[in-house]
Structure 1
Amino acid sequence: MKQQKYGKSKMAVLLIVTYVFAKFQGGFASWFLFYSSLTFFFYELLAYSLMFATLQVSRDIDRNRLQDGEELVVTVRLKRRFWFPLGWNMVVEPLPDRLAGLYEPHRQLIFPWFKREVEFRYVIPALPRGYYQLKECFVSGGDFFGFIERTKTFALRNDFLVYPSAKQITHWPAGDGNFSGTVHVSHRYSDDVAAVRGVRDYHRGDRLSQIHWRASARGLGLKTKEFEHQAVNQVLFFLDVEKEHYAGEHPQLFEMAVKLTASLVTYTSRSHYHYGFVCKQQERISIPPAHSQSHFFRVFDQLARVMPEGKDSFARIIGREALEYPQGVTLAVITPSLNKKVVAQLADLAQKGRNVHLFWVHSDPTVKQEQKQALQLLAANKVVCRSIHLREYDELQRIGGA
């Protein structure tokens, strides 16, 4: 604003000085200087008025779902309804708060001249996991001679998620190598011939694809196929996001816990298990077990957003959520804590016949005696325990088994 007022005052002073000079001096040269200044003044006035009068700024991103470590390509476009010989534009693209400490805001100097549309691209490299928003865009502009300068903020919004990277785990006996016994799914594979166990009389409401045409052709009326129920493993993942459990720990420990959860989810999805996800940061997130592509992205959306900011007791969350699922569901718990509440809760669930898998993530070079005792207590109560150090995750391929 000060720059604008200063530029206007300089132009006004220049115009007054040339006018006074022409009035007292007279002659062609002095009046030519005045009219040249007057033309120059009108140009500056138009440049000031039209700089943002019809300017439209838009931003596009090449995708809104990325993986940890990938880069994002951002395209910014500046459009005007009509051409006018403007001087320059400086576009500043602020970064989200989580990226502000990693990279500098992007600045692009543009000389539009007579162009009605200007476009440029820039890259945000090596994005860490998280949920990000690109918001306002700052555009500054000025004339050719440096007399005026204006700045305007354009309210834009582009959201994108960066998923955690997942390792290819080759082995994990989530259900002890067996299906989950009493757990059955309601859907039937109508096109699977091996799943047909017999035929029965047609009932109103049966689908056309379920009719056994060969049996019906024998003249005994319409017959419908009877299918076997398909039993599947079901895994419910509990990710510890309690803030106190990560206080004083290595800053990458939580990221490793999220990556481990993503790797286990990928394994269960590839194995055609049904899987769910539970955590509580500010709000309760409880995704019941299912298996589909949309379900996979639904879980990974939460893994991209989650942060270690939970305030509720993780042990209480496990106990409350586990009651909502039947016995055959495997409970996979990812936590850095082996405090008494967590250990007691997991041992109690195992004693009640629940299949519990504990993944204890830690960054300490040595395991303390109380932590060893906690793991031994859980193992004695038939909790499957796996200790994963921060440095061991990169080499992790198999979980359990020979």
Structure 2
Amino acid sequence: MREALRGLTTRGRSFLAAAVAAAISALILGERDLLRVAVLLAVLPLMAAWYVGRSRYRLACTRSLEPSRAPVGSSARIILRLQNMSRLPTGTMLLEDRLPYALGSRPRVVLERLGAHQASSVAYTVRADVRGRYPIGPLVVRLTDPFGLCELTRSFPSVDQLTVIPQVVALPRVRLAGEYAGAGDSRARSVAVHGEDDAATREYRRGDDLRRVHWRSTARTGELMVRREEQPWESRATVVLDTRAAAHRGEGPTASFEWAVSAAASIAMHLRSSGYKLRLVTGSGEDIDASEAGGEGLIMDALADVKPVSGGDIAALVEYVRRRSDGGLVIGLFGSLTVAEAQLLGGLRGNGASCIGFAVDSATWTPMTSGDRQESDREHAAASLALVRSGWRSVPVTHGDTLTAIWPTVGRGSQGYAYRATMAETVSGVNR
């Protein structure tokens, strides 16, 4: 009740002031009728404060988000359901949901009085152009009595979260390097196809069939090695995202880093739908195993939160990938690389892995002079050539390229060699 009295409006306080004035006048003049008026003027705001204060603790609010994960640039619908839990009707209510600045201004909705145990729903939409997780709420409700004598603000404690995920584009199906069609199964399989010498092997264990002994590997290692039977029947893929802040250029949603994040999300969802056992590794140390049910949500949540990190290096990224590397297909989204960094990525070629790298020329995301542009192109060409020589199939990416347009090139058998020759000619021409 004390808090409700502090919520008296100017009108309510005026009623109390008028009641005091009428009471004093009644005592001075000896007018009993005027004293009755003073009592009435005092009772009205007090009753209003009691009414509003009682209603304050008998309201229930629920919030639902449709959808809870919204792609960048799309809209989400927020539905608020308010229910009056008391036997008394409420007055007019002003609803205000608190939102982060990135989602726009705070929505304000007027809700007419609710009867006893009555519920009503209101909805509004938000739109976000930047990835991330955004808190929705708490909801602030301004309660008033029918006469406008008292106004009280209630803040519900519940806060929901809207996850804005990267934009995912549909990719055409292409045959990727290092795949073959397994017997009895039409899905593509990620295995080594470079001959018997590259067959996946492991150390001999007691009880293994001697017919599975791989004699060439045994002779090379000096230990008894056997073929792995299960590997040809699993499609494995690892998506690697370079998060080094120094390797990317641009600001906001149009930055080169955002292109790489969106491409990583699109490729991951494409491979997941193709039946791959998927893994996502980022330069900030995130290692997501998306092979189980719900893996799509884990990947999209991780990519919604990922940010460029300062101080990261390629050596650490290679180490993150190699911790649980089991071969298969490796697809990397890299920012600007130096020749030395491209050579370090050759360490991911072990265990029969087939590596495809999207080499993002982030310098094209910023304006440059003619001389600086030529120097930048030369450095990027040299790094791309070093990536090819490290055993990667390199796919060049410049500002304005779309993943849908360049994705089919990863399935062309001769693309890697053609690009290698192009890079070699470019570097030699620049050197001359």
Per the alignment, residue 422 of structure 2 pairs with none
CA 1:323–1:36: 2 relative to 1, 3 Å:
closer
Per the alignment, residue 191 of structure 2 pairs with 180
Per the alignment, residue 297 of structure 1 pairs with 297
Distance (whole Å) between structure 1 residues aligned to residue 44 and residue 401 of structure 2: 70
Residue 80 of structure 1 and its aligned partner are, at CA, apart by: 3.1
Q: Which runs of 5+ in 2 are unaligned?
A: 181-189, 193-198, 202-228, 366-372, 413-432
Per the alignment, residue 375 of structure 1 pairs with 384
Contact preservation (8 Å) 1:15, 1:34: yes
Distance (whole Å) between structure 1 residues aligned to residue 312 and residue 162 of structure 2: 30
Distance (whole Å) between structure 1 residues aligned to residue 40 and residue 326 of structure 2: 90
Residue 247 of structure 1 and its aligned partner are, at CA, apart by: 5.4
Count how many residue pairs are aligned between Structure 1 and Structure 2: 353
Q: RCO higher in 1 or 2 (8 Å CA, sep ≥ 6)?
A: 1
Residue 26 of structure 1 and its aligned partner are, at CA, apart by: 5.6
- 1:358-373 paired onto structure 2 within 5 Å: 358-363=357-362, 364=364, 368-373=377-382
Contact preservation (8 Å) 1:174, 1:235: no
Residue 93 of structure 1 and its aligned partner are, at CA, apart by: 0.4
The percentage of aligned residue pairs carrying the same residue is 17
Distance (whole Å) between structure 1 residues aligned to residue 26 and residue 290 of structure 2: 87
Contact preservation (8 Å) 1:60, 1:74: yes
Bigger mean CA deviation after superposition, 349-358 or 119-128: 349-358
Per the alignment, residue 132 of structure 2 pairs with 130
Q: Which amino acid aligns with 1:355?
A: S
Residue 400 of structure 1 and its aligned partner are, at CA, apart by: 2.6
Partner of 2:56, secondary structure, is coil
Per the alignment, residue 91 of structure 2 pairs with 87
Partner of 2:391, secondary structure, is coil
Distance (whole Å) between structure 2 residues aligned to residue 82 and residue 250 of structure 1: 48
Indicate yes or no: 2:16 matched with 1:12: yes
Per the alignment, residue 398 of structure 2 pairs with 389
Contact preservation (8 Å) 2:359, 2:395: yes
TM-score using structure 1 length: 0.75
Distance (whole Å) between structure 2 residues aligned to residue 306 and residue 15 of structure 1: 62
Indicate yes or no: 2:163 matched with 1:170: no
Bigger mean CA deviation after superposition, 79-88 or 256-265: 79-88
TM-score using structure 2 length: 0.70
Contact preservation (8 Å) 2:67, 2:76: yes
Residue 384 of structure 1 and its aligned partner are, at CA, apart by: 0.7
Indicate yes or no: 2:345 matched with 1:335: no
Contact preservation (8 Å) 1:359, 1:386: yes
CA deviation vs aligned residue, 1:125-177 (integer Å, no higher than 9, x gap): 44444323224222222334444322232211223433333222224443344
Per the alignment, residue 207 of structure 1 pairs with none
Per the alignment, residue 268 of structure 1 pairs with 271
CA 1:390–1:232: 2 relative to 1, 3 Å:
farther
Distance (whole Å) between structure 2 residues aligned to residue 300 and residue 102 of structure 1: 19
Per the alignment, residue 44 of structure 1 pairs with 48
Q: Which runs of 5+ in 1 are unaligned?
A: 185-226
Bigger helix share: 2
Distance (whole Å) between structure 2 residues aligned to residue 288 and residue 40 of structure 1: 65
CA deviation vs aligned residue, 1:175-208 (integer Å, no higher than 9, x gap): 3444413459xxxxxxxxxxxxxxxxxxxxxxxx
Contact preservation (8 Å) 2:77, 2:123: yes
Per the alignment, residue 205 of structure 1 pairs with none
CA 1:288–1:102: 2 relative to 1, 3 Å:
closer
